[in-house]
Amino acid sequence: MAQRLISSRSIQHALVPLKTPTRLAAVRPVAGPLCQARQSSHSPLGAPPATPRKKVTINTLRSLHQKQEPITMITAHDFPSAHVADHAGMDMILVGDSLAMVALGMQDTSEVLLEEMILHCRSVSRATKSAFTIGDLPMGSYEIAPEQALESAIKIVKEGRVQAVKLEGGLDMAPTIQRITKAGIPVLGHVGLTPQRQNALGGFRVQGKTTGGALKVLEDALAVQEAGCFAVVLEAVPAEVASLVTKKLKIPTIGIGAGNGCSGQVLVQVDMSGNFPPGRFLPKFVKQYGDVWSESMRAIETYKSEVKSRAYPATAHTYPMPAEELQEFERILESTPISTST
């Protein structure tokens, strides 16, 4: 099909009397507000909080525990989710292996790889300026031997830029935890329901509902404390049991489905913010504090509608051109000979 093209020589000839640089200099300042405006959708997202706070450290967490002030923790799996969590003032941000499902669409946490966890840790760490960051060691990265676990921990701290690691297991994992902490890497323990071992536990079942089960939770919690954990997650444990275990420990307990007698709480951000489609199963312990999904749907559907109706973009969303420049451009198009090529 033939196309009508303007020859470059014709354009150059038409542009001779324009003296465009002089004109542009008059309407476009070299520096000022125009240069500071965000002119690209690829501009960095990050911005410091309106009221910056001190960096949370291990000592900060110990101080909160000593004052019996509840410690706040939430998961994040990328830059935006970490950005909002940090701005909201969370004490700790966990890059949990739950990202396997909520960020990568996997069936369960057993699928996610260490390399994938590291990628998400790096994204979260770039956004987090104040909160204490922790990276989950995924299934298969620490169970074989303490040396394997230490190697994985070093990798996720060095490359993922987090400040601590989390791993599941109690008494059986004590030597592994000890090996990592002796190398100078803080470890957050995780006992009670350990999702990576769901198949051995018979599914996602509450732990510690019997006297023997409660004693096992306590034994595991004491073991990881002795091994050097700075805190321990208690998951899916009766509130009374979690409260009693918390009183027996010297380190903070972070509850998830374990009642309000723990030293702090953690939830998966996608769950508590309501960023999921209707009908998704939520554990009993989850309280939904928002409805991000519905708000996102409303915004995207409105955008789609306005694009279809040409209501968007309006004049306010476009870049202006000086009238005389536009007239000159139109004159060139109208007066320049048209060449035809195939």
> Hey, which residues are catalytic here?
235
φ, ψ (nearest 5 deg) of residue 145: -165, 155
The secondary element (H helix, E strand) that includes residue 180 is: helix 174-182
For residue 278, how many C-alpha atoms fall within 13 Å in the half-sphere facing its CB?
Answer: 3
Give the number of residues written for the chain. Answer: 342
How far apart CA 275 and CA 123 sit, in angstroms, is 19
Q: Are 95 and 74 in contact (CB under 8 A)?
A: no
Name the DSSP letter for residue 337.
P
Instruction: Tell me whether residue 122 is exposed, middle or buried, using C-beta atoms within 10 angstroms of its C-beta: 0 to 12, 13 to 18, 19 or more.
Output: middle
Q: Which residue has the tokens 């035809």?
A: 340
Q: Rg of the chain over CA atoms, in angstroms?
A: 28
d(CA 229, CA 219): 14
Environment class of 185 (CB within 10 Å of its CB; exposed 0-12, middle 13-18, buried 19+)? buried
- CA distance linking residue 324 with residue 277, whole number of Å: 51
Q: How far is CA 48 from the centre of its chain?
A: 16
